[in-house]
Amino acid sequence: MSLFKFSFIPREQKFYDLFEEGASNLLEGAHALLEMAKHYDEAPQRAAVVTEFEHRGDSITHRIIEQLHLTFVTPLDREDIVTLSHSIDDMLDHIEGAAGMLVLYKIKALEPNALALIDLVVRVAEEVNAAVPKLRRRRDLKSILRHCVEINRLENEADEVLRLALAHLFDNGSNAVEIIKWREIYELLEGATDRGEDISDVLEGLVLKHA
């Protein structure tokens, strides 16, 4: 009589591969938003590219959750796997949301504060993309913390840019409709850096647990 064989070997590499794919896709999405800003005369087409990366991010998150259901022993706590994957996805959602609002609201040109926030979003994504590959090697875990510190610094800088941007809107005598449009765009961009800080918090927690 044959017996079913169950594998209790953790599929570590698969999870780490997917995390790295998600972080790389996040950075590509952020760069696509930056390219949209640089070639703003092509805003609708460039925004569609950002949306493609957002859809790809959704697919990666789905594959992570699917892998979680198929794996008996995971390399990290299940809750941390879910939180990290959703945090990366959430940041990309905000990036895509900002790109979409720029097109939907028919914004003619980008304000300097919007460009500053986009730059900060890209820099946060760069730090995430540099930090996530270090999860798979215990010897590299502590070096993740310097990326977390930089992400938090960038998020604080984004908070200040948001305050300045909103103050400029009101001080510049913008009409109510323009204020509503720009406020939503600014908050989506700053919100992307907030989600980056969420990623940083998860990474920091993983370092404390496993380093």
DSSP secondary structure letters along 141-207: GGGHHHHHHHHHHHHHHHHHHHHHHHHHHHHTT--HHHHHHHHHHHHHHHHHHHHHHHHHHHHHHHH
CA-closest candidate to residue 117, choices 21, 207, 186: 186
User: Which tokens go with 92?
Assistant: 């990309």
Rounded CA separation 89/87 (Å): 5
Rounded CA separation 165/189 (Å): 12
CA-closest candidate to residue 186, choices 124, 116, 134: 116
Rounded CA separation 122/193 (Å): 9
pLDDT in tens, the chain (211 residues): 444 444 444 456 899 999 999 999 999 999 999 999 999 999 999 999 999 999 999 999 999 999 999 888 899 999 999 999 999 999 999 999 999 999 999 999 999 999 999 999 999 999 999 999 999 998 999 999 999 999 999 999 999 999 999 999 988 767 899 999 999 999 999 999 999 999 999 999 999 998 7
**CATH number of this structure's domain 12-210, picked from the four choices 3.40.47.10, 1.20.58.220, 1.20.1080.10, 1.10.150.120:** 1.20.58.220
